[in-house]
Amino acid sequence: MSVPVVAAEGVSKWYGQVIGLNDITVDVQPGVTGLLGPNGAGKSTFLKLITGQLKPSQGTVRVLGEPIWGNPALYHRLGFCPDQDSFYERMTGQQWVTALVRLNGLSETDAVEAARRALDTVGLLDAADKKIGAYSKGMRQRVKLAQAVVHDPDVLVLDEPLAGMDPIARRKVIRLIKGWGREGKSVLVSSHILHEIESMTSTILLINNGRILAEGNIHQIRDLIDEHPHTVRIQADDPRRLAHAFIEHDGVRSLTFEKGAVVVETGKPDAFYGRLTQIAASGELGEVHEVSSPDDNLQAVFEYLVK
Amino acid sequence: MTPIHDQSYRRYAGVRQEPGAAWLVIAATGIRTVLTKKFFWLVLLAAWGQFFVRAVMFYLSANFSNLDLLAPSVETFRQFFEIQEIFVLFVTVYVGSGLIANDRRSNALQIYLSKPLTRAEYVAGKLGTLLFFLLLVTLAPALMLLFLEMMFSASLAFVGANLFLLPAITLYALVEVLLSGFTMLALSSLSTSARYTAMLYAGVVLFTAAVFGIVNGITNSSSLAWLSFRANLDQIGDVIFRLQPRFESPWLLSVVVVALLIGLSVFVLERRVRGVEVVT
């Protein structure tokens, strides 16, 4: 087995009386690894420990064989895409990525060139000179990815990179992440949606209540997921026409409407997401703006796992 | 269609800056951003107004013997700094209030600090931006005035007779801008609103001056001058320029207050400048 990209040994993190991570020992191997867990499970805490933004209360975190805490020189080899929006809305995508890559030590000229390449990689070159404030949710996620890869890191840490994206952008980003994995980068990507993680990798770390529940290639989770209904909220131009198309789908168990959105409960998430992507790509039922999935589905599975 | 992995990345083959130089990037970016604002150029022009007036006075005194009263003295340079105080306040508020607050509002710290940049470098970069402009309205014109005096009089007599003036100008300017800079950065790190930070800073300066003024009026004594942000600088300035201190409070106490304020600001910055805000 090769040297682990990330090695956490006996790592705990407390926020005062609240425990964020509880005595985690895990090795993350090269390649794409999914970090899967419901909201509040400790995913973001784990990723912030890996990127050296938090100091473990106990234990050690090593990245590429070196301790990450207090070792900014190692950040040259790391790319981090946080879950929160972190933008200056008045800057253009090009300006923002250029400014950030300069912190990696690139000269002004090289930084401009590197930023253009990174924006091209994530499919945002056409919008490079637009202000970030005018970007859609999917574009904002992609410009965050651009700043994470712009300095060509060996390890990419992506916190919920698909959150809120429309199906087309989601597909593009999944392809990008898989592509980076094929190029030899190690990617650690978090999500609370198994379907998303599965489309990128079969290597999964399951995390809940601050503990790693399981790691490796966990196909059994698939079966468990399928036993629980999966809820998807779709924000679109015409939710009622979308709903009409979904009714014909045999996996759909229920449909409810919210303002500008339809919430679908399905027993066959794979097939459903496939159909949704087709509909969004064709554009025949209007534009699909945002797809999100509450983590209740996964929570049910985790509750089952820890029984 | 090109496979996605072929569209991706080429390894950077250029020369990377040495670690520890990232603060320069932060400072340079900050300076450039401020310089794009036309209004700020007007402020700078106004801040240099006194320099131009004094330069003319120096010229006249050097060339017309009947205008000796315009000749420079140590007090001239001390007064120069006193008049510049208003611009120091304005530049500190205008440039400094958003330096960290805006980054906090847009969650930029989390991304900045995931780059090869230490928190100390980040603060140094922000401080560098503010100090650049503060020195531009204090140290730079004062030194240029001293230089002009030598040029216009074609003599080293004045400088020779006041050899302490060059280090005094430098030292006082540094004390003034470091106190203003650190205090403003600390306040900026406490908020996500540049406007609120600006009001807070102006409030600290004006409120402490008002408190001292009231106490001074009631007691007819300036022994509590150390209560005022500005009075401490005035007191230290008088000593640095070898003049009689204007207040009754010990000037060493003012030095201690200034050092404590800078120390407190560094402590606040250490606590507040973090990629991830930890609430316990």
Query: pLDDT tens for residues A6-49?
Result: 999 999 999 888 888 999 999 999 999 999 888 888 998 999 99
By Cβ distance, the residue of B8, B22, B275 closest to A103 is B22
B63 in a structural domain = no
B8 in a structural domain = no
Q: What is the mean pLDDT of residues A273-300?
A: 77
Q: Show residues of chain B in contact with A53, CB under 8 Å.
A: 110, 113-114, 274-276
Q: Show residues of chain A in contact with B21, CB under 8 Å.
A: 105
B224 in a structural domain = yes
Cβ(A158)–Cβ(A188) below 8 Å: yes
A227-306 carries CATH number 3.30.2350.10: no
Question: Which segments of chain B have a pLDDT < 50?
Answer: 1-10, 279-280
B182 in a structural domain = yes
Q: Show residues of chain B in contact with A180, CB under 8 Å.
A: 5, 8
Q: Cβ–Cβ of A53/B108 closer than 8 Å?
A: no
The band of A73, judged by pLDDT with boundaries at 50, 70 and 90, is: confident
B241 in a structural domain = yes
Q: Show residues of chain A in contact with B108, CB under 8 Å.
A: 86-88
Does residue A57 surpass a pLDDT of 60?
A: yes
Instruction: State the pLDDT at residue A34.
Output: 93
First-to-last C-alpha distance (Å) of chain B: 52
B173 in a structural domain = yes
How many Å lie between the alpha carbon of B123 and the closest alpha carbon of chain A?
Answer: 14
Q: Cβ–Cβ of B22/A105 closer than 8 Å?
A: yes
Q: Cβ–Cβ of A54/B22 closer than 8 Å?
A: no
The arrangement of secondary structure in A6-222, i.e. its CATH architecture, is: 3-Layer(aba) Sandwich (3.40)
How many Å lie between the alpha carbon of A109 and the closest alpha carbon of chain B?
Answer: 11
Q: What's the domain range around B260?
A: 20-58+68-272
Which of B11, B12, B107, B274 to mutate against chain A (most A CBs within 10 Å)?
Answer: B12
With an 8 Å Cβ cutoff, the interface of chain B facing chain A consists of 3-5, 7-12, 14-19, 21-22, 25-26, 29, 102, 106-108, 110-118, 274-276, 278-280
C-alpha–C-alpha distance, residues B133 and B40, integer Å? 10
Q: Which two tokens stand for residue B208?
A: 């402490």
Q: How many domains does chain B have?
A: 1
Which of A68, A103, A175 to mutate against chain B (most B CBs within 10 Å)?
Answer: A103
Positive or negative, the Cα torsion across B213, B215, B217, B220? negative
Of A148-157, A185-194, A248-257, which range is least confident? A248-257
Domain boundaries, chain A: 6-222, 227-306
B278 in a structural domain = no
Give the tens place of pLDDT for each residue, B16-65: 666 567 899 999 989 999 999 999 999 999 999 999 999 999 999 988 88
